[in-house]
């Protein structure tokens, strides 16, 4: 009853006051989305341009350093990357059409950038013709002043954006002040009912959130223990298969070989012993494959990449699915538990492809990026619904493993259909765990 009464009073007060709030919030939304947000995005692109220009300035300083052992042409790839990023950022910045920028300012920036890159091309052309002195003079006398002028121009645009944001912020503050004064009136009229209702809701929500937090912590802890127990069990079973059963089968094979030598040549007994020995060897091979599948020893010896180099061809032979494996970036040494978790995600994804998708081809991509590790497993099979992705036990385990690594796991659908499993692990999480 207290909740119902408080709700009725609140709804009546809100209805009487809604026309004013709607008008003010509409004005505020228009101002924020039309100017402030656009200025913010424009400033981000300008900062991106400024950052690239600063990187080029540092590169040119190093190129003029007489102690540098590299020829000037060694910097061409860095300049190419900076050019591509600058062109992209300038294009995006131009699409924002910030009102404070005149066509003359934009044209000046584009012309200055074009002149700068023309000078860069001439400099590298000189360097390619072994005219190191002329190329260095080009850097000192032309490129560095042009870069400084570009940086100054971008800085002015940033200052203009900041001034515009400050002006908009003052307007927004004025709107907030007006709304705040009116809200005080609204609060005075409904204070008692809202205070009682809010106190009741706060108390109830605190109990609920505390319970949810407790359950969430228990679930995370349980998931971690279950995964740790699972890996420990699989490691134990794998070693038992490899060491105990492997040694037994090896010994049986040796005994059958010796026994066959004592049987007469071309006798039925000798042929049967050889057939039994072949069965033992096949069983030994399957046992070793099963042992590696349960817990690859390569993970501890050769790391994730070495394990995938062995595992993916094995899956191709076993399932008949053609798997394209791509690696890119500078490898990062993963902690052991991170490596096994990434391997399990890839293993479960490929198992799902072989069992359920009906696809004849798959793609595994391992990317080492500046901000972390990214893994993609893609197929163009039948795919699955998002609700199925949440219900499957294997898929739930994949999500738990991603959360344990501080990463994210997403199930996407490529344009060609099928399923794209994307695992992303931030670099700082791996470094913090390793530390």
Q: Give residue limits of the domains in the chain.
A: 2-204, 303-434
428 Cβ neighbours under 8 A, 6+ residues apart: 372
**Architecture of the domain spanning 2-204:** Up-down Bundle (1.20)
Cα distance between residue 252 and residue 249, in whole Å: 5
Q: Where are the alpha helices (DSSP H) in 335-416?
A: 336-352, 386-391, 393-404
pLDDT in tens, 11-45: 776 677 677 777 777 766 666 666 667 777 778 88
Q: Which helix (H) or strand (E) holds 127?
A: helix 103-128
Q: Residue 346 class from Cβ within 10 Å (0-12 exposed, 13-18 middle, 19+ buried)?
A: buried
Whether 303-434 and 2-204 are alike in CATH topology: the answer is no
Integer CA distances (angstroms), 177 to 185, 189, 322, in order: 13, 19, 65
What was the pLDDT predicted at 181?
75
22 Cβ neighbours under 8 A, 6+ residues apart: none
Q: Going residue by residue through the chain (435 aa), what tens digit of pLDDT does each one get?
A: 555 665 666 677 667 767 777 777 776 666 666 666 777 777 888 888 888 888 888 888 888 876 767 788 888 888 888 888 888 888 887 777 555 566 777 778 888 888 989 998 898 888 888 888 888 888 888 988 988 888 888 888 888 777 777 777 677 677 767 776 776 676 676 667 677 777 777 888 888 888 877 776 666 676 667 766 766 676 666 666 656 666 676 777 777 777 777 777 777 877 777 777 778 777 766 776 666 666 666 677 778 888 888 889 988 988 899 999 999 988 888 888 888 889 889 988 998 998 888 899 999 999 999 888 999 999 998 876 444 544 557 788 888 888 888 899 999 988 888 899 999 999 887 777 766
Cα distance between residue 186 and residue 142, in whole Å: 65
The structure's pTM equals 0.45
150 Cβ neighbours under 8 A, 6+ residues apart: 53, 109, 112, 113, 116
Cα distance between residue 292 and residue 315, in whole Å: 12
Cα distance between residue 425 and residue 345, in whole Å: 12
C-beta separation of 145 from 161 below 8 A: no
What was the pLDDT predicted at 364?
95
Q: β-strand 361-369 against 322-328: which pairing, if any?
A: parallel
What was the pLDDT predicted at 32?
61
Rg over CA atoms, the chain: 33
Q: Which helix (H) or strand (E) holds 326?
A: strand 322-328
CATH T-level fold of 303-434: Heat Shock Protein 90 (3.30.565)
Strand order in the sheet with 322-328: 322-328, 361-369, 372-379, 419-426, 408-412
What was the pLDDT predicted at 376?
94
Return the C-alpha torsion angle 295, 299, 302, 303, nearest 10. Answer: 160
How many residues comprise the chain?
A: 435
User: How many angstroms separate the first and last alpha carbons of the chain?
Assistant: 55
Q: Determine how many CB atoms are found less than 10 A away from the CB of residue 36.
A: 17
Cα distance between residue 69 and residue 58, in whole Å: 16
Tokens of 69: 């052992």
């Amino acid at each position: 009853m207290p909740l119902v009464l408080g709700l009725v009073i609140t709804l009546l007060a809100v209805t009487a006051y809604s026309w004013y709030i709607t008008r003010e919030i509409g004005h505020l939304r228009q101002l924020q989305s039309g100017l402030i947000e656009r200025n913010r995005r424009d400033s981000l692109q300008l900062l991106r341009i400024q950052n690239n220009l600063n990187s080029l300035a540092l590169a040119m300083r190093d190129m003029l350093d007489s102690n540098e052992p590299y020829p000037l042409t060694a910097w061409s790839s860095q300049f190419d990357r900076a050019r591509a990023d600058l062109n992209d950022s300038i294009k995006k910045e131009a699409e924002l059409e910030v009102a404070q920028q005149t066509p003359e300012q934009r044209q000046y920036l584009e012309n200055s950038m074009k002149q700068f890159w023309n000078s860069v091309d001439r400099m590298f052309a000189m360097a390619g013709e072994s005219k190191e002195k002329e190329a260095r003079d080009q850097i000192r006398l032309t490129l560095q002043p042009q870069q400084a002028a570009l940086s100054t121009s971008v800085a002015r645009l940033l200052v203009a954006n900041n001034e515009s944001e400050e002006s908009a912020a003052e307007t927004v503050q004025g709107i907030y002040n007006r709304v705040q004064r009116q809200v005080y009136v609204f609060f005075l009229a409904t204070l008692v009912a809202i205070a009682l209702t809010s106190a009741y809701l706060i108390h109830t929500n605190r109990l609920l959130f505390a319970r949810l937090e407790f359950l969430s912590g228990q679930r995370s802890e349980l998931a971690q223990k279950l995964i740790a127990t699972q890996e420990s069990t699989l490691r134990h079973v794998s070693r038992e298969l490899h060491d105990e059963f492997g040694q037994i089968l090896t010994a049986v094979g040796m005994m059958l070989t010796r026994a066959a030598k004592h049987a007469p040549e071309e006798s039925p007994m000798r042929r049967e012993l050889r057939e039994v020995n072949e069965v033992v060897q096949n069983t030994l091979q399957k046992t070793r494959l099963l042992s590696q599948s349960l817990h690859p020893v390569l993970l501890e010896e050769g790391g994730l990449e070495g394990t995938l180099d062995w595992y993916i061809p094995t899956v191709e032979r076993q399932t008949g699915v053609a798997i394209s494996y791509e690696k890119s970036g500078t490898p990062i040494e993963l902690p052991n538990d991170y490596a096994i978790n990434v391997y399990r995600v890839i293993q479960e994804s490929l198992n799902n492809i072989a069992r359920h998708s009906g696809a004849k081809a798959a793609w595994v991509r391992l990317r080492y990026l500046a901000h972390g590790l990214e893994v993609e497993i893609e197929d163009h099979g039948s795919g699955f619904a998002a609700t199925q992705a949440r219900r499957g036990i294997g898929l739930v385990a994949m999500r738990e493993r991603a959360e344990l690594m501080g990463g994210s796991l997403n199930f996407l659908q490529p344009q060609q259909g099928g399923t794209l499993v994307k695992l992303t692990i931030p670099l700082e999480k791996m470094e913090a765990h390793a530390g």
